[in-house]
Amino acid sequence: MKTQLTQDLGIAKEALEKGHVIGVPTETVYGLASNALNIAAVAKIFEIKGRPSNNPLILHCLDRENAAPFIMEFHDELALLSSKFCPGPLTLLVPKSERVPEIITAGSDRVAIRFPAHPMLRALLETLPFPLAAPSANQYGGVSPTLAPQVLEQLMGKIPWILDGGPCEYGLESTIVGVENNKIVVYRLGSITLDELSVVLGYIPELKNNAASNPQAPGMVKYHYAPHTPLHYFQQNEALKLDSGYIFLHKIPEGFPPQQCMVLSISGMPQEIARNLYRVLIEMDSKGFKALYIEKPAPEGLGLTLIDRLNRATAKFS
């Protein structure tokens, strides 16, 4: 199969109606989307990604009205968060209606719903009579692409089209929340920070984002988001190795040759570091280095999400 980039919504719509899986832009990372109500089309997503079938998918809908047939009940705490953050990078775990196919939720009685903010994806959803099931557009366990050409590199020959909506604004996956005992619980740290949620909620939501403690989000496995090249944290006073690549948050330390280094953000702004992280990881992964070293962000705000991803990405190599 030939894989092509396009900006034509008509082509994307037609492919989805035919039951194809296509790449789509979102404000977080690129997704691998199909008609969520077509079970054969959804099954192809698992096959293409190499993803275990016990790992459920997020349902992407235009708005609450479009999502209503798939939701049994919408808790007030989730309504509060969605009024503040949606459309945007927040995914809500809600009790599902019987219209949600089993394959989407992997047998759970809750479905993950997200209202994406990316204008091109919203324009597409407006023309579709069905929601989209979409995981991130990486091979299972790998780094999520945030640029259409990087989706092409990972999925060439496996899907017909990638809708090119430019670079993703946030660069990290959505934050996943649900309700337990009438309080918000965070199952995956993401683009919306704990601080941002706390301000709206008036309390700090509990974080349950470990595979062991968290059967709710089985995708939060210990090893994930990893490049092929062994990735390690850069330790203070790490000696320069000539066969290694280095990723710094803000500035290249003295003595490190620029051709072995990339910087995540000239400004040092956490949002910019987040936006560039996956793109830079994928780029450095392709340069033939024997190992990669990355500077650890400060553990606050978006830094907590960055560290969550990097801990999983480096765990595979430690």
Binding positions for ligand TXA, rule: CB under 6 A: 26, 28-29, 31, 55-58, 89, 91, 93, 105, 108, 110-112, 114, 134-136, 173-174, 176, 216-220
Residue nearest to ligand TXA (CB): 219
110 binds, among ligand TXA, Mg ion, none (CB under 5 to 8 A by kind): ligand TXA
214 binds, among ligand TXA, Mg ion, none (CB under 5 to 8 A by kind): none
- Of 88-96, 129-137, 237-245, 278-286, the window that binds Mg ion (rule: CB under 5 A) is 129-137
Three-class secondary structure assignment of the chain: CCCEEECCHHHHHHHHHCCCCEEECCCCCCEEEEECCCHHHHHHHHHHHCCCCCCCCEEECCCHHHHHHHECCCCHHHHHHHHHHCCCCEEEEEEECCCCCHHHHCCCCEEEEECCCCHHHHHHHHHCCCCEECCECCCCCCCCCCCHHHHHHHHCCCCCEEECCCCCCCCCCCEEEEEECCEEEEEECCCCCHHHHHHHHCCCCEECCCCCCCCCCCCCCCCCCCCCCCEEECCCCCCCCCCEEEEECCCCCCCCCHHHEEECCCCCCHHHHHHHHHHHHHHHHCCCCCEEEECCCCCCCHHHHHHHHHHHHHHCCC
142 binds, among ligand TXA, Mg ion, none (CB under 5 to 8 A by kind): none
Choice between 136 and 209, CB closer to Mg ion: 136
Q: Is 136 in the site for Mg ion (CB under 5 A)?
A: yes
- Please state the closest distance from residue 34 (CB atom) to ligand TXA, in A: 12
Choice between 191 and 265, CB closer to ligand TXA: 191
34 binds, among ligand TXA, Mg ion, none (CB under 5 to 8 A by kind): none
- The closest alpha carbon to 62, from 126, 130, 135, belongs to 126
- Of 62-70, 85-93, 113-121, 134-142, the window that binds Mg ion (rule: CB under 5 A) is 134-142
- Please state the closest distance from residue 192 (CB atom) to Mg ion, in A: 16
Q: Is 209 in the site for Mg ion (CB under 5 A)?
A: no
31 binds, among ligand TXA, Mg ion, none (CB under 5 to 8 A by kind): ligand TXA
Choice between 136 and 265, CB closer to Mg ion: 136
- Please state the closest distance from residue 181 (CB atom) to ligand TXA, in A: 17
Q: Is 265 in the site for Mg ion (CB under 5 A)?
A: no
- Please state the closest distance from residue 215 (CB atom) to ligand TXA, in A: 8
Spatial separation of the C-alpha atoms in residues 8 and 53, rounded to whole Å: 31
114 binds, among ligand TXA, Mg ion, none (CB under 5 to 8 A by kind): ligand TXA
Applying CB under 5 A, the site for Mg ion has a residue count of: 1
Hey, which residues between 189 and 208 contact Mg ion (CB under 5 A)? none
Report residue 172 as tokens: 């990290």
